[in-house]
């Protein structure tokens, strides 16, 4: 059984494409979303495993009444269901495309189905963080657990983490804000180091902004995982569309995360970098030169001297040293001054 840390060895920040209900109950669309996520460079795909009669009642209220074809929220969850065999096919497809497959289970039976598929870790959805029987069912598998924090109080999160610690589970805590879409002032990136310090664990961002910027910032702040909802189009149907990235945006995010990982993995030695650019320095730096033709015996004044490219001669920082020196011989305009151009003073140095 793989440890959580092993997933962050090769790639320090995993990007998970949260398909959730973007498939709208269509198995074909679910498979198409897997392909699109892989093409966009995602590291993982995440689903939600709903079994309506195991998790809901016909009295469950709508968060947002978005569906014209489902009379109740229960009916909607029913339409989102896949069979155990269909989940198996989705996982096999994801793995064929080189993606990690995982899902948020919303009932003990969903945990059982996913455990039969041998998913590598579990995701505790925001609304399930106080559901100890469900979390206990996950911890008994011995697999790592990812915890989303969008709806919970700090006290509830402390309790959940306590259960995981008591069970000896590895865990990651996601900063998550349950607004769809989430405005920038509510993303809460400050909580990434807070959770890391408080719980001594890797952290991630489960983002609902519908933009790439929070994910890029989280990667720069050392997040181990970024989870973003995805959709084929901002005009698509579904409750998560306003909070989702298009596949084109997902590609920008994955490219950006890879770029940042390379930056962070290669610190620069400033002295070594300056040495590498010695030829370029000679081109772009400046030397002190004669502003005009100057005869022998001229006592240099500031207006007779200019700082011009290329470098390699007396640098502009020494302008004050040249003022008052006497020319040993005449020089033409733009002549780069050298120490040998000046008469020696009484101490023997050029003056």
pLDDT digits (tens, 9 = 90+) for 17-40: 999 989 989 999 999 999 999 999
Q: What tokens does 263 get? A: 């930056």
Taking residues 85-109, report their average pLDDT: 97
**Final residue belonging to a domain, choices 238, 265, 292:** 265
The domain that holds 286 is classified in CATH as: 3.90.1210.10
Residue 349 lies in a domain: no
**Host H or E run for residue 195:** helix 191-199
**pTM attached to this predicted model:** 0.84
Whether 151 and 291 map to the same domain: the answer is: no
Q: What is the residue-averaged pLDDT of the chain? A: 92
Q: Which of 145, 100, 141 is nearest to 125 (CA)?
A: 145
pLDDT of residue 12: 80
Residue 75 lies in a domain: yes
The domain that holds 243 is classified in CATH as: 3.20.20.70
Considering the chain, what percentage of its residues have pLDDT values greater than 70? 95
pLDDT of residue 351: 53
Taking residues 302-327, report their average pLDDT: 96
Residue 347 lies in a domain: no
Whether 206 and 316 map to the same domain: the answer is: no
**Final residue belonging to a domain, choices 265, 290, 319:** 265
Whether 118 and 250 map to the same domain: the answer is: yes
Going by pLDDT thresholds of 50, 70 and 90, the confidence category of residue 11 is low
Whether 215 and 327 map to the same domain: the answer is: no
Taking residues 42-61, report their average pLDDT: 88
Report how far residue 308's alpha carbon sits from residue 44's, in angstroms, rounded to the nearest whole number. 56
219: Cβ contacts below 8 Å, ≥ 6 apart:
13, 226, 256, 257, 260, 261
Residue 179 lies in a domain: yes
Tally the domains of the chain: 2
Half-sphere exposure of 220 (CA within 13 A, CB side): 13
pLDDT digits (tens, 9 = 90+) for 155-189: 999 999 999 999 999 999 999 999 999 999 999 99
pLDDT digits (tens, 9 = 90+) for 205-246: 999 999 999 999 999 999 999 999 999 999 888 888 999 999
Whether 216 and 335 map to the same domain: the answer is: no
Taking residues 255-279, report their average pLDDT: 89
Q: Are the beta carbons of 145 and 171 closer than 8 angstroms?
A: yes
Whether 255 and 296 map to the same domain: the answer is: no
Residue 350 lies in a domain: no
CA separation, residue 35 to residues 22, 39, 108, 294, 342 (Å): 14, 6, 29, 75, 75
Q: Which of 280, 283, 289 is nearest to 311 (CA)?
A: 283
pLDDT digits (tens, 9 = 90+) for 275-311: 888 888 889 999 999 999 999 999 999 999 999 999 9
pLDDT of residue 348: 55
Whether 178 and 68 map to the same domain: the answer is: yes
**Final residue belonging to a domain, choices 265, 291, 315:** 265
Residue 7 has pLDDT above 90, yes or no: no
Whether 244 and 290 map to the same domain: the answer is: no
pLDDT of residue 33: 98
Whether 279 and 165 map to the same domain: the answer is: no
Whether 172 and 297 map to the same domain: the answer is: no
Q: Is 53 helix (H, G, I), strand (E, B) or coil?
A: helix
Taking residues 30-53, report their average pLDDT: 96
Bridge partners of residue 308, in order along the sequence? 287
Taking residues 333-343, report their average pLDDT: 96
Going by pLDDT thresholds of 50, 70 and 90, the confidence category of residue 264 is confident
Whether 184 and 236 map to the same domain: the answer is: yes
Q: Which of 221-230, 244-253, 341-350 has the lowest mean pLDDT?
A: 341-350
Check the CA dihedral 342-345-349-351 and report its sign.
negative
pLDDT of residue 204: 97
pLDDT of residue 55: 83
pLDDT of residue 32: 98
pLDDT digits (tens, 9 = 90+) for 114-144: 999 999 999 999 999 999 999 999 999 999 9
Whether 18 and 152 map to the same domain: the answer is: yes
pLDDT of residue 67: 64
Range of the domain at 288: 274-341
Residue 348 lies in a domain: no
Report how far residue 55's alpha carbon sits from residue 90's, in angstroms, rounded to the nearest whole number. 22
Going by pLDDT thresholds of 50, 70 and 90, the confidence category of residue 258 is very high
pLDDT of residue 77: 84
């Amino acid at each position: 059984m793989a440890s959580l840390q092993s997933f962050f060895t090769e790639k320090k920040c995993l990007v998970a494409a949260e398909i959730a209900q973007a498939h709208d109950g269509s198995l074909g669309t679910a498979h198409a979303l897997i392909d699109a996520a892989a093409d966009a460079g995602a590291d993982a795909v995440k689903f939600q495993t709903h079994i309506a009669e195991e998790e809901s009642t016909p009295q469950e209220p709508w968060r947002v009444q978005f569906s014209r074809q489902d009379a109740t929220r229960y009916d909607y969850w029913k339409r989102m269901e896949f069979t155990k065999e269909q989940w198996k096919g989705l996982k096999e497809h994801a793995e064929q495309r080189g993606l990690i497959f995982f899902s948020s289970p919303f009932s003990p039976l969903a945990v059982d189905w996913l455990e039969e598929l041998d998913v590598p870790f579990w995701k505790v959805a925001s609304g399930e963080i106080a559901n100890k029987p469900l979390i206990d069912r996950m911890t008994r598998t011995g697999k790592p657990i990812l915890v989303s924090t969008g709806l919970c109080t700090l006290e509830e999160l402390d309790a959940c983490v306590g259960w995981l610690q008591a069970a000896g589970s590895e865990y990651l805590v996601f900063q998550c804000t349950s607004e769809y879409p989430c405005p920038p002032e509510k993303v809460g990136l400050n909580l990434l180091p807070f959770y890391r310090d408080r719980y001594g664990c890797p952290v991630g961002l489960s983002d609902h902004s519908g933009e790439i910027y929070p994910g890029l910032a989280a990667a720069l702040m050392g997040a181990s995982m970024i989870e973003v909802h995805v959709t084929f189009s901002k005009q698509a149907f579904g409750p998560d569309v306003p909070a989702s990235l298009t596949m084109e945006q997902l590609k920008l995010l994955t490219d950006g995360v890879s770029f940042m990982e390379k930056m962070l993995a290669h610190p620069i030695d400033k002295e070594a970098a300056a040495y590498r650019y010695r030829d370029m320095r000679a081109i772009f730096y400046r030397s002190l030169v004669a502003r005009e033709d100057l005869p022998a015996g001229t006592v240099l004044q500031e207006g007779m001297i200019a700082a011009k490219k290329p470098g390699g001669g007396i640098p502009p920082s020494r302008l004050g040293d040249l003022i008052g020196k006497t020319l040993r011989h005449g020089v033409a305009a733009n002549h780069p001054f050298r120490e040998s151009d000046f008469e020696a003073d009484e101490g023997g140095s050029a003056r």
